[in-house]
Structure 1
Amino acid sequence: MADKAFVGTFTYRMFVGKNVGAGQITVNANGTYQNAVTVLNTTKPEDADKAAVISYSLATGQLQSLYGKEYLNPKNLLTVDYTVHGQNQARRLAQRVTLWTNGKSGDNINLARARIENTNAQLIYYSKDYTPWPKEGLGPVQSGMAMSKADAAAPSIPTIYTNTLGAYRSIQKAPVQSNADFMQLIGAISDAHRQNVGQVAVDFTDMYGAGVKPTDYQAINKDGSKQALMQYVFVVSPAKVVEGASYIISTQSGDLLVFGLLGGKLYLLHQPDHDSATVTWMMMPDVDLTVPPLQIRLNPGI
């Protein structure tokens, strides 16, 4: 790189479609680069810290200098898509890993032409794939994203792939260690079955949460005795309200489905009488609690 200002690791912020995104570019002195992009399931920048990660991608390639600008020519793009519904930030469950490549056999990476410009005051990143956050950019440069110097570089594509596969296998062996894990697993199962858990349709886009305690849902057997407390519990909205369905629990917050886990078995809370506070757990024997298979693809559609 003739202009040493381009060398280093930089961060930038943007919208990817309507979703908030965060980018990190590392440019090396030999002109190679890697560009990491994290997409979050929020449209509000102020909610970025608590939002779930939709996808993480890393593009690698070579810079090409033209007209005083540095254009990004990608060679490889690895993307990891995650289960969003009830995502446990500490143990994110990958759904799909895809590697696109550009080379002699063809260009498979569907990214807009991107470039970096040096305004002498700051580096600006331009790409039609992204929209700057409000007030981002430098002065009149509102179509670009201001780049800020950072310390740590993104890991390599092989490292991301290996770590993703390792994390997935770890979750496979012990999928549920918390309420958040439980909700994430059921969210992944519902994604794999068109937003259904067994015969029950769920709606993770409405109300859901893992911040409840098993003791909040002490249930009663038909004979009036107490049922065993669930190990893990979470709540989610039904996709449709079925008239007279005892498994839809009426609360002050609205109609909810309450799922419980005990001894490796899935339970759904029922309310036999909607004018009564009495509830009882009923097992859902038709639901396989296995983590859905991780999809690994190379240049799909080719």
Structure 2
Amino acid sequence: HMYRVEPIYGETGPIELPNCMYKVDSVYCEADTSGISRPELVQRLEARQEQLLKKLESLHSVVQKTRESLSIGMEKGTPSTGQISASSVSASMQSSSSTAPGGAPPLDVVLGASPGRPPFSVWPLKRLLGERRRVLLSCHTHSSVSGLPRRIGDLGRLEAGGIGDSRSFYDLVLTLVWKQGAVKTSPSRIDGLRYLGRLLDPSYESLGPVEATEVDHWLDQAHHGLLHGKNKERQAVLKALNAQLGNSPYVLGSSPSLADIALWSAVLQLDLLSGAPSNVKRWMKTLNEDPKFKLPESCLVPEVI
């Protein structure tokens, strides 16, 4: 070789390589928050939670008193949550209907309605409920109403018989109050229909989740699409109903259901029959001839209030 150079480093032991490029001290530390006030948002959430708990306790107390007044006991094996369902009310009413009058007080249901939008659904429901229990339907006029149209008077005469009986004779007392502005002040009247539907035997909710959901869908269509919808929305509901009735004689099969009652009542209230599709007209004719849906002739034609 041309020239020789001595090593420029001495012999050392094994070199330990670092396992990271560089080290940085932690930027975190546990702070002492004992002297720091909690954010205002957390305090508001806690206050709201306390209010909700108080409301739940109040509702629990009301339900307990209602259950005691209806003589409904909690079944063995069910959680003692103080909850009461329409099925338990229905069971209580069925048992009381087989006993002599003068036992448990009747269940009172008060409905408000405008003379311009009579809830025709009350009458077929009353007849269906009357198959298993004693039902009284009475009509009263609020001071805000100066006069009633003819068809309202005819509806009242349907219930003329039996009014003289004592209220204690009945299991269920339905009170219909005619008053102005009832449609605006009670936009969720469909919930009253749902409640009465739960008192039927069997109730629509006991028929299975699929059918119960379908009934709820058509109840919403009757309420939001027809009774509280604009012309375009009403026509869309009638079109969907017409298609549904092309597959079966009634909305959900071979027999009338709570959905039929709600839709039938809405079509009558709004006088939509004359411009309805063919299947809807056929369906309405079938229901109007059914004894459970029978109404005075004056209720089947529009009347100017």
Q: Same fold (TM over 0.5)?
A: no
Task: Select the structure with the greater relative contact order (CA < 8 A; seq sep ≥ 6).
Answer: 2
- What is the TM-score with the length of structure 1 in the denominator? 0.26
Instruction: Identify, as 1 or 2, the structure richer in helix.
Output: 2
Instruction: Identify, as 1 or 2, the structure richer in strand.
Output: 1
- What is the TM-score with the length of structure 2 in the denominator? 0.26
